[in-house]
Chain A
Amino acid sequence: MNLRTFAIALLFFMLPGQAVGDDADIEALVAELEQVKGRLAELEQLRQRVRTLEARLEEANRSVPSESATAEGMEKRDVASTSSAPEPEPPAIDIGGALRFTTFANGSVKGQRGKSGLDLFRLSADGSIDNILLSAEYRFYPFMDTIHHGWLGYKFDDESQLQAGITRVPFGILPYASHNFWFGVPYYLGLSDDYDLGVKYVRPNGPWDLQLAFFKNSELSNSADLGRYSYDVVSAGTARNEETNQFNARVAYTFGAGTTCSHEVGVSGQWSELYNLDTEKRGDMWAAATHLDTRCGRWNFQLEAARYDHNPVNPAGIGANRIELGAFESLYDIAPTGTVGIANIAYNFPLSGDILNQLTCYNDYSVLYKDGGGDDSILNTTGCAIGIGPLFIYADLINANNMVFFGNGSLAEGGEDDWDTRLNLNVGYYW
C-alpha cells in the first residue's frame, strides 16, 4: 500500500460519525484546507524564487574561460546550464613542515663513535594568491632557530617573477650543487644554497633562464649573528667584515629541453662589497662559475667550476687572508681566494614495489684549491636518497680531506692532509 492509498484509508477511518450532520466542522475543515492550499502555493512561489537566485549565483560563479572563448557563434543558452562537478578548492597557501632526526658515526672523534638526535623541526608556507607569490620557511634546531627563507613575489604574464625578501642567491647549479645531505664544498664557502636579503628577478624563456639579483646584505641584519642557515662572511670573529650591496647574475640555457636527455649549461657572476666594521672601509668580493647539469635518462651529471676572491680592508694586524664565515652557531676561516670544482653523478632507480617512492644513489665530489697554498679541501660523499611515503631518508658515507667540521681540517690556508669518514643518516618526515 503506498502513501496515497494509506492516506485515503486513514481519512475514511477518521471521518465517519463525525462528519455527518456536523456542518460547522465541515466548514472549518474546508477553511483549513483552503489555508493549507494557499500556504503551499506560497511555498511553491518561494521555491521558484530560490531556484532563480541559485541559477543567477551559479552563472556569476561560473569561471571556465575556455568555454566562453571557444563558444563563438553559439546561441545563448536559454535554460540549460553547465557547471563542474564540485571539487574542493585547493588552498592558496600550502602550510608544510618537516621533522627530522639524524644519526652519525664519526671516525675522527675518539671515544665517541656516533650521535643521534633531533635534527630540526620546521614550518613552511608556499603558495600564491592571484599573481602574488609567497614562500617562507622557519627552522627550529636544538641549538638555534632561524629563518631559512622568506619572500613575497609577483608573477608577471610572461611567467617571469620578482621576489623580494630573503631569497636563494642565484649562483651555479640550482637548486643544489649536490645530492647528499651534507652538500659539497661550495656550500661551506657561501657559494651554494646561500640566502640573502634583497630582490631577485627570475625570467624563464623557453630553454633560457635568466636570474638577476641585488642583495642589500645577508639574511640577518646583524652580521655578527651566527644563528643562520647559510654561510656568509660574518663580523663575529676578529676581522669583522660583512657582506653588503651584492649583485648576482646567472644565465642558463638548456639543450634538449622537453626530451629525456637535457643539458643545462650556465654561467654565474657575483660581486659584493665587504664592509669592515673596524676600518669602516669597503673591500669587495667576487665569484664566477660555469656549470653543466645533465639529466639523461635516469642519470644526472653535474659539473661546476668556480673561482672566487675576497679583498677585505681589515685593520692593521689582521691579514687580508682572514675571511671568516659563519652559520649554525659556528665560525671558521676560508682561503680568501680559491678555485672550486664539482663533479657529481647520480642515478634514479626504477621501482615497481609498493613501498619505495624514490631511490636515488649518488657520488658527489667537490674540491677547493687554495691560491695561498695549503692542502686542498675535498668532500666526497657516496649515498642514497630514499623516499618512503612521507619519509625521506639520506644515507651518506662522507669522506673528507682537510675539510672543516672533520677533524682538524680547514677551508683556510693550512689544515691537515688527512682523510676522515662520517656515516650520516638523516630521516625526515615531511608534510
Chain B
Amino acid sequence: MNIRLTIAAALLGLLATGAAPAADSAPETRELTVVSWGGAYTRSQIRGFVRRFERESGIEVEMIDYTGGIEEIRSQVRAWNIKWDVVDLELFDAVRGCEEELLVEIDPSSLPPAPDGTAAADDFLDGSLLPCAVGNIAAATVIAFDPEAVERAPQSLEDFFDVRRFPGYRGLRRTPKTNLEWALIADGVKPERVYSVLDTEKGVDRAFRMLDRIKPAIRWWDHGEEAVRLLETGQVAMTSAYNGRVDTANGNGASYEILWDNHVRFRDAWGVPKNGENIEAALDFVRFATSTESLAQQANFISYGPLRRSSLEDLPAELLARLPTSEDNLPRGFDTDAAWWSEHIQELQVRFERWIERPFQVPRDWPSR
C-alpha cells in the first residue's frame, strides 16, 4: 500500500473512532475537576448535587480543596494549562476573576429557570449573577465558642476583642477580610461606615491597631474545617467560623454556640476558568449545580442559604431559622462588600501577611546568639 493510502487509512481510522475533534463540539469530557472549600461544605455539595450530576451526565467529578484566592486560576489560565475546570469562588474573587478576564462568561439565560418557569435572572437574589460567575450560597462568618469551655459566654463582638475580660486564645481566618471589619466595629465604628473608614490609610491603621490588641492570642486557620477543629481540641476559647460548619458540627454531636452579633454575610459563586478543554461540560456542571433543586438539596446538608428564591420555598422552617438570612439573624449582621474587597484585597493581603510576620510582643525566640 502506498503512502497516500496509509495516510488516508489513518485519517479514516480517526474519523471512524471519533477520536478526532468533533466538528461542532469540544472533545468528550469524562472527568471534571471541581475546586471547593473542603470539609462539611464540599460534602454538602457532593450530597446535594455532585453525585446526581455524575449519574445523569456520566462525567466523573473530582473535588479538590483550596483556601480561596485567584492566584492559581490566574497562573493556569495564563499558562493555558487548566487543571481546575470549575471553581467555587468567594464573590469578590469572582469579581476579580471577571475583571482580569480569567473566567468564562456565563449567559444568565442559559441557566435553568425555576420550576414555575421564572427565568433564572429573576429567580436569583440580587447581585448573585455576575457576567462570569453564578452565585450559589449565602453564608456568614460568625463567632463560635464552646459554652462549656469558657468561664463567661461572650455577648458581643467587642467581647471577642477583650482578652482581659474574656481570656483565652482566639481563632481567626488568615485573611484581612472580615478581620479588618470586625476590628473597626469592635473599636466603635458603625458597620455601615466600615468600608468608608477602611478607604483611608488611617482607617486601616486603626483596624490593625485593634488587631494588635489580640495578636498574641490569635491562632490562625485557613480551611473552614480547621476553625471547628480549634474548638474541638480546646485550642481556642472562641473562633471566627463559617456558620454552616458550626451547625454541621453541632449536628454531629457538638454543642457550640454561635454569636450572631455583627456576623459578616458573604456569597460564593461558581466560575469556570478560561482556556480549558472541558468548558462546555464545566458550564453544564454550573447550570446543574445552580438549579433550584440542587441549591435546595445542598442546604439540607449545610445551613447556608441558597441564592435562588425558588430554592428557599421548599426548605423547612427549622432550617430557614438557622440561616444567616433568617428573620432573627439578618439584622444582626451585615454584608461583606465584595466590590470593595476585589479592589483592595491584593494590597491589604500583603500588609496583613507582613503584620502577621512581625511580632507584636517582644519575641521569645530570637536567632540564637
Contact = CB atoms under 8 A, between A and B. Distances in A.
A70 B248 contact: yes
B286 to A, nearest CB: 16
B163 A260 contact: yes
Contacts of B35: 85
Interface string A331-369: 000000000000000111011101001101010000000
B73 to A, nearest CB: 11
Contact of A295 (B10, B11, B17, B361): B361
B20 A357 contact: no
Interface stretch (B112-120, B137-145, B176-184, B209-217): B209-217
A176 interface: yes
Interface stretch (B55-63, B267-275, B305-313, B335-343): B55-63
Interface string A157-198: 000000000000000000110010101000000000100000
A7 B11 contact: yes
B154 interface: no
A392 interface: yes
A25 interface: yes
B50 to A, nearest CB: 5
B1 interface: yes
Interface in A1-37: 2-5, 7-8, 10-11, 14-15, 18, 25, 28-29, 32-33, 36-37
Contacts of A14: 4-5, 7-8
B368 A80 contact: no
Interface stretch (A71-79, A209-217, A311-319, A374-382): A71-79
Interface stretch (A219-227, A232-240, A296-304, A410-418): A296-304
Most B CB atoms within 10 A — which of A3, A4, A51, A183? A4
Interface stretch (B40-48, B88-96, B125-133, B314-322): B40-48
A258 interface: yes
B360 interface: yes
Interface string A227-255: 00000000000000000000000000000
B367 A428 contact: yes
Contacts of A148: 368
Given A70-B248, A80-B50, A350-B212, A25 B65 contact: no
A259 B16 contact: no
Interface of B: 1-2, 4-17, 19-23, 31, 35, 38-40, 42-43, 46-47, 50-51, 54-55, 60-66, 72, 163-164, 167-169, 205, 212-217, 225, 228-229, 237, 248-249, 252, 354, 357-369
11 contacts: A25-B5, A29-B1, A36-B9, A77-B46, A80-B62, A83-B64, A85-B64, A137-B368, A176-B366, A260-B213, A358-B359
Interface of A: 2-5, 7-8, 10-11, 14-15, 18, 25, 28-29, 32-33, 36-37, 40, 51, 64, 66-67, 70-72, 74-75, 77-85, 98, 137, 148, 175-176, 179, 181, 183, 193, 256-262, 295, 297-300, 346-348, 350-352, 354, 357-358, 360, 362, 385, 392, 394, 426, 428, 430
